Amino acid sequence: MEKTFTIVNPTGIHARPARKIVEAAKPFAGDVHLIKGDIRSNAKSLVKVLSVGAKQGDVVTVAAQGEGAEAVVDAIGAVLSSAEAE
């Protein structure tokens, strides 16, 4: 299960959205990754999500497998494509 999103927030994925991503990923039993370019990052880790360094206009893929994968991908996608200011 993979979906691709474009970062809308003019400030990119900063502290607050990064935390929301981790909070969305943690309850999921399997692995959840953010993929930008060649790099896969553990979406359950704040430091890894920050390390993605996603900026406005960047395209990020969210990947998860197993039961509930679509829900977790959509939840993270909602954060990635939110324009909410910090």
Partner 1 sequence: MRTIQGIGAAPGYAIGLAKRVGAELSVAARSIAAEEAGREAERFDAAVAQASRELEAIRERMSAEGRQHEAEIFEAHVFLLEDEELVGVARECITEGLQAADSALWETAEEVASVIAALDDPYLRERAADVRDVSQRVIRILQGATDVGLATEPSVVREATAVTASASTDPTTSAVTASADQALSAVVAIAGSEGAEHSSIGGNAGAEAAGAVISVSVPGHIVWEDYLEAIGAPLKQVLIAEDLTPSDTAQLDPKQVAGFATAVGGRTSHSAIIARSVGVAAAVGAGEALNDIKDGQTVIVDGFSGVIIVDPIAEELERYRALEAEYRRSQAENEVFRGRPSVSANGVQVELAANIGSAQDAVQAKKHDAEGIGLFRTEFLYMGRDTLPGEDEQYGAYRSAAEALGPDASVVIRTMDIGGDKELPLLELPREDNPFLGYRALRISLDRPQLFKTQLRAILRASAHGNIKVMFPMVATLGEWRRAKALLEEAREELRAEGKPFRDDMEAGIMIEIPAAAMMADRLAREVDFFSIGTNDLVQYTMAADRMNPKLSYLSDPLHPPVLRLIDRVIRAAHAEGKWVGMCGEMAGNPLAVPLLLGMGLDEFSMSSSAILGTRALLSRLNQSELAELAAAALDLDSADDVRALVEQRVPQAAARA
Q: What's at 86, amino acid-wise? A: E
Query: Quick one: which of 19, 35, 63, 68 contacts partner 1 (CB under 8 A)?
Result: 19
Could you list the beta-strand ranges (E) of the chain. Answer: 2-6, 32-36, 39-42, 59-64
Q: CB 4 → partner 1: shortest distance, Å? A: 9
Q: Is 4 helix (H, G, I), strand (E, B) or coil?
A: strand
Q: Where are the alpha helices (DSSP H) in 26-61?
A: 46-51
Contact between 61 and partner 1 by CB under 8 A: the answer reads no
Binders of partner 1 in range 41-60 (CB under 8 A): 42, 44-48, 50-51, 53, 55-57
User: Count of residues for the chain?
Assistant: 86
Which residues are near partner 1 by CB under 8 A? 5-12, 14-15, 19, 22, 42, 44-48, 50-51, 53, 55-57, 81, 83-85
